[in-house]
Structure 1
Amino acid sequence: MKKTIFLLPPRSPFYLLPLFFLFLLAGCQQESLPEADGLTNSAAAKAANDEVRVNTFYGPAEPFNGGVVRTMVTMTRDGVPVEIGVRISEKALEDLPEDGRIISLDLPNQMQGLTFEHVDVNWNPHGHEPEVLYGAEHFDVHFYMVSEEYKMTITDPQKGVDYPDEVYQPFNYFPPPPQVPAQFQLVPNMGVHWTRADEPFPFTHTFIYGSYDNSFIFMEPMVTLEYLLEHADGTAFSIAQPDEFERSGYYPTTYKMYYDDKHKDYVISMGDMVWYD
């Protein structure tokens, strides 16, 4: 299916979300698997030794700004997922456009044990209002656990404020406060964004969960262009976990950004997978 690069509207309820959050604060290729620091029951910990070999599979490359963007999944030979992410070619980050873009990406067929169905990469050249919080140019990477067709039906504000049960809510994450009207909590064709109560500022990178109609439907690393180009060294940052996930599968416990000198790609990925029944 041919993909479309959508232009972001100049202003939408999404740009109001950081203000709400501030209120809340006040709110196939063989590779050697590197050694991993992670939970003892994580997929990376099970696989982490110098002898283990992994396969990396790629989704279809989509053109963007003179380069390409594509998804990737790395798995052990036994089919245990190690890393899922997106690769943005170095060329694509040169002279980025002044208008926002959404690039919808297919995942590889090799997705055993993972619940993700597609990925959207959002380029935000002017950040989000208020500028003091999320004003820097940045990328959002939405790893959706629903289909593209379902995503396009996300339009009902009341379903947006039908939040998932507490057992599924990640630790120390919250939706916009109840004073915010439902129509401003929901971002159409996306969902309601949940952020950490201790969200660090100034913003360089962060991690967001998204929900709709009583379910969490996406996981989202978010990173500034400056951090990606100048500071992305592969450091793994923790992802807060819920007590349970609705669907059985492997879920990431860390995210990271790094530059792949061999392939000349910038990578935004999630890893240190843990199995949830």
Structure 2
Amino acid sequence: MKKLWMHSQKLVQMMSLIFVAALAGCDSNQDIAPSASTANLQKAHGAETKIFYGPATEVGEGTARVWVETLQGKPTALGIELTEEALNNLEAYDLFETTLKLPGQAHATGFKTVAVGWNPMGHEPEGVYTLPHFDFHFFLQTEGQIMQIEGGPDPEAWSLAGTVFPAFYTFGPEPLAVPHMGVHWVDFRSPEFSPAGFSRTFIYGSDQDKVTFLEPMITLEYLLGLAVGESETIPVPSLLSYEDPGYYPESYTISHNTDGTYSIILTDLVWHNSNR
């Protein structure tokens, strides 16, 4: 299998310093008038679609919130909405990661924790991810479980290659876990490993022999380059097997909405039973 260096010990130490434990609860059941992005989903899926929002949390100079779309009671999309102000003056901010509160209805998806991270200098490998970017983590673990994930070598990750993760997903020469996250798996077919360079990519995470998170990773330049009303939907490679039953995305969507907000959405959610 082709091997790509993903994280060095320096990155492990750096990321351990930026994880912010901010989840105080996730019982919001707010069902309010949809934003521009969720209104489009409602229009596409029909009148029985409902959107539920978590409370807004400060991110940079703006806010972010989690929302879930349901159709006849079943989740079809799980998103993060950023206000335009959240992208302002980010050069003044160091590394951070902020956990967002989920609306109660989001529990049905199987995702338990959602966080937004800002990385102003990027990270290794040099020349690949060394651009200012956001990490949008959708965790399958609770905050308590996440905090128990230790950094360093994780040899059990080898067992997931080609059995849980497709063969084109890999890590560096050795599986090295970031504290409170896990081993990061990258799709070596992605644009960042070609002359096109890094703009947006989709990463999977693992700890020991379990999948821990799904992560759209998106550069600031890409987000700022989206015209108002513009969106892009990109297919998500499916896992080969599932341990945690839940709704998993077949695509993810990035949009700059007509109300000025930005959305990063796990779309086309499909239920998968445990089959490991």
Return the TM-score normalized by structure 2.
0.78
Which residue number corresponds to residue 242 of structure 1?
239
Shift of 1:259: 1.4
Tell me the secondary structure at the aligned position of residue 85 of structure 1.
strand
Equivalent position amino acid for 1:267 in 2: S
CA gap of 1:98–1:156, structure 2 versus 1, over 3 A, is: closer
Alignment check: 8 A CA contact 2:81 2:263 kept: yes
Alignment of 1:1-277 (within 5 A): 11-13=10-12, 28-29=31-32, 34=40, 51-76=46-71, 78-96=72-90, 97-111=92-106, 113-155=108-150, 157-158=152-153, 160-163=154-157, 165=160, 166-170=162-166, 172-177=168-173, 180=174, 185-201=176-192, 202-231=197-226, 233-262=230-259, 264-277=260-273
Shift of 1:74: 1.1
Q: What CA distance in whole angstroms lies between the structure 2 residues aligned with 1:149 and 1:243? A: 27
Find the aligned partners of 1:29 and 1:234 in 2 and give their Cα distance: 23
For each residue in 1:182-204, what CA deviation from the matched residue of structure 2 results, as whole angstroms up to 9, or x when unmatched? 5xx11111100001121322000
Residue of structure 2 in register with 1:23 after alignment: none
Superposition RMSD on alpha carbons, in Å? 2.5
Residue 117 (structure 1) shift? 0.3
Identity of aligned residues (%): 34
AA aligned to 2:86 is A
Shift of 1:260: 2.0
Cα-to-partner distance string for 1:206-264 (whole Å, 9 max, x where unaligned): 000000020001000000011112137322101111222112221101112111223x3
The residue type equivalent to 2:130 in the other structure is G
Task: Name the CA distance, whole Å, in 2 between partners of 1:234 and 1:196.
Answer: 22
- The alpha-carbon distance between structure 1 residues 156 and 226, as it changes in their structure 2 partners (threshold 3 A), is closer
Q: Give yes or no for contact 1:30–1:53 (8 Å, CA) kept in 2.
A: no
Distance 2:137 2:46 in 1: 33
Q: TM-score, normalised by structure 1?
A: 0.77
Unaligned segments of structure 2, at least 5 residues: 1-9, 16-30
1:59-110 CA distance string (max 9 Å, x none)? 121112221111111112x112121111111112111134111111121100
List runs of 5+ in structure 1 lacking aligned partners: 1-10, 17-27, 36-46
The 1:171/1:241 distance shift into structure 2, 3 A limit, reads farther
Cα gap change, 1:69 to 1:30, in 2 (>3 Å): closer
